[in-house]
Amino acid sequence: MNQDELKALVGQAALQYVVPGQIVGVGTGSTVNKFIEALASMKNQIKGAVSSSEASTARLKALGIPVFDSNEVAELAVYIDGADEINGQGHMVKGGGAALTREKIVAAQSKVFVCIADESKLVSVLGAFPLPVEVIPMSSARITAQFANMGGQAHVRMKDGNPLVTDNGQHILDVNGLHIHDPVAFEAEVSQWPGVVTVGVFAHQKAQVCLLGTSEGVKTLKF
């Protein structure tokens, strides 16, 4: 099976975690796009979704799935999202699709985070994937210097020759060269640097379940 087929497999498998009659939290990315396609088959059984990006919102609405503002919903039973990396404890690196801030917000309002990923995303130490960090633009240089002190090389993410602007109007730094051995401590430390909106380490909002697409089928990891 190729990577696209593995993504479709876990997108379909995630339907078993969707609670009928409720609102489901929906992440962002190519794996989640497969989940959204599968969710259309259940659209008459759910109230709707809280979405983590403008891109997912557009896809959900195009399929006739109502999208609620996160402020309208006190708690979600489940949040389904992909990851750029996940370790054996359910800690993740996310933000490859620049949606990390809203993803962390929706994850925080959800009881269970179900990560859907192909097996290439499972790692022993986070950091080989360049770590996305959403920042207030005027703080980029200072935060870049702070990462350099940790051995990381940060670069502003570009799109069409200009800094990419997130759904929240901010910029993304992608940081290479990190080896994140203690994701909980790392997330806590970087989150309090002035100008950091969201760091793409999801350790406090970790996954409780990972549906991993492998050539032998879907493996369920629980953390």
The residue ranges that bind ligand 5RP (CB under 6 A) are 27-31, 81-84, 94-100, 103
* Burial zone of 178 (CB within 10 Å; 0-12 exposed, 13-18 middle, 19+ buried): buried
CB of 191 to ligand 5RP, least distance (A): 17
CB of 101 to ligand 5RP, least distance (A): 9
Q: Which residues contact 180 (CB under 8 A, 6 or more apart)?
A: 93, 125, 126, 127, 131, 186, 201
Nearest residue (CB) to ligand 5RP, 47 versus 218: 218
CB of 163 to ligand 5RP, least distance (A): 17
Nearest residue (CB) to ligand 5RP, 48 versus 132: 132
Report residue 193: phi and psi, to 5°: -70, 130
> Active site residue: 103, 134, 187, 189, which one?
103
Tally of residues, the chain: 223
Burial 131-159 (b: 16+ CB within 10 A, else e): bbbbbeeebbeebbebbeeeebebebbee
Q: Is there a catalytic annotation at residue 103?
A: yes
Distance of alpha carbon 4 from the chain centroid:
18
CB of 149 to ligand 5RP, least distance (A): 26
Which residues are catalytic, by number?
Answer: 103
